[in-house]
Amino acid sequence: MKTDQYKIFIGSYGSTDQETIHWLNWKEGHWEKLAAVSGVENPSFLSFNHSQSHLFSVSEVEKGELISYKLDHDERRMKEMNRQSTNGWAPCYVENLKDQYLFTANYGGGNIIVHPVAQDGKIMPFCAEFDFSDIANEKGLTSHPHTIRQIPSTDRYMVADLGLNCLFIYEFNPIEGKLDLIEEIEAPEGSGPRHIAFHPSLNIVYVVNELNSSILTYSYQDKGENFKKLLQNIATIPSDWEGANYCADIHITPSGSFLFVSNRGHHSIASYFVSNNGLLEVYAYTNCKGEWPRNFAISPDEKYIFVANEHTHNIVTFQLEGNGDLLEIGNPYSIHRPVCIKIQEI
């Protein structure tokens, strides 16, 4: 019988003299620390290259940075290759495109930056930028782009801007070094779009909203066009909950059977059945055994969910049952303010 084992990377809030990126081994409920690095402040989001030989991290500070690490599995070491400015402050998300470009969202700077990536994994100076200041001025709002994701099987990208309460669709022109705005979708008032999940087989996208604790479900056409049709707007917390809540992360299982959202305030993972047409049905709210679940990850085999509880400084493991139940297993792993979790396929 195959042993359940995963290599897991954690980004955590902390200063440069603290270990803020952690490389862990998880095996059947037991944790082992493989490596950790200091020298990077607030690595709040991580991304792998396609072969997972390199790890890219943002540094969510005033003078934002993007850092490349080469992963040495034999020596259990993360070697810093180089770092580049994100030309904005508080970068909070990085997306890898075919190991050729990195797309970064500067939450505080109100812009999207594109960096080429060299064959050796080094990050080159940025080649393209889209600044939301003109759109923000027109709306009388402040831009806070929180996520940029490639629309599957297209050359287009979706940006969730929490401050502008909008979703933006872009095309990237690498020859001219431009991001061209194609479409703008305004979310219902007070939503605050934060993170995005695409259905694995349907032309459907799910957007979790930080400010009003909801999920928006949109359909789109094959080329990543016409997102105007809102199919569903569903809550992430029980109707009788009266406390404050701020949604954080959203993921759908590789099979497309279940979707999950993390609730900060309600301190739960909301679970949904995904119907054949992509619509959601609430299944359960599972206590996350900690506080402020900012980020979580689903194992590729859909057996486990790993939850990063920022305020209680721990990683909690849940076994995902076939009926959608989440059962806590093993012991929590203690890390100071974990805010991003990525699973390396081995």
Q: What is the CATH number of the domain that holds 124?
A: 2.130.10.10
pLDDT at position 227 over 90: no
181 closest CA partner among 195, 202, 164: 164
- Could you tell me the end-to-end alpha-carbon distance of the chain, in angstroms, rounded to an integer? 16
pLDDT for res 69: 98
In a domain, 16, yes or no: no
Q: Residues 31-54: pLDDT tens digits?
A: 999 999 999 999 999 999 999 999
In a domain, 2, yes or no: no
Indicate if the alpha-carbon torsion angle 276, 278, 284, 290 is positive or negative: positive
Indicate if the alpha-carbon torsion angle 42, 46, 49, 54 is positive or negative: positive
230 closest CA partner among 212, 204, 249, 254: 204
In a domain, 160, yes or no: yes
pLDDT for res 257: 98
Split at pLDDT 50, 70, 90, the class of 1 is low
pLDDT at position 161 over 60: yes
Of the chain, the percentage scoring pLDDT greater than 90 comes to 92
In a domain, 37, yes or no: no
pLDDT for res 127: 94
pLDDT for res 228: 77
In a domain, 281, yes or no: yes
| H or E element that contains 134 | helix 133-139
> Mean of the pLDDT values across residues 246-268?
99
Q: Look at the chain and report how many structural domains it folds into.
A: 1
In a domain, 293, yes or no: yes
Of 219-223, 266-270, 279-283, which gets the smallest average pLDDT?
219-223
Q: Residues 80-124: pLDDT tens digits?
A: 999 999 999 999 999 998 899 999 999 999 999 999 999 999 999
Cα 330 to chain centroid, rounded: 25
pLDDT at position 246 over 70: yes
pLDDT for res 346: 66
> Mean of the pLDDT values across residues 162-187?
92
In a domain, 18, yes or no: no
pLDDT at position 226 over 90: no
Domain containing residue 160: 87-344
Residues 214 and 200: their CA atoms lie apart, in Å, by 21
Residue 9: exposure state from Cβ atoms within 10 A (0-12, 13-18, ≥19): buried
Query: DSSP character for 213?
Result: T
Of 186-190, 228-232, 329-333, which gets the smallest average pLDDT?
228-232
164 closest CA partner among 134, 192, 183: 192
CA separation (Å) from 240 to 90, 171, 211, 235, 243? 35, 42, 17, 12, 9
Find the largest Cα–Cα distance for the chain: 60
Query: DSSP character for 183?
Result: E
Residue with tokens 């297993």: 329
> Mean of the pLDDT values across residues 205-232?
93
In a domain, 81, yes or no: no
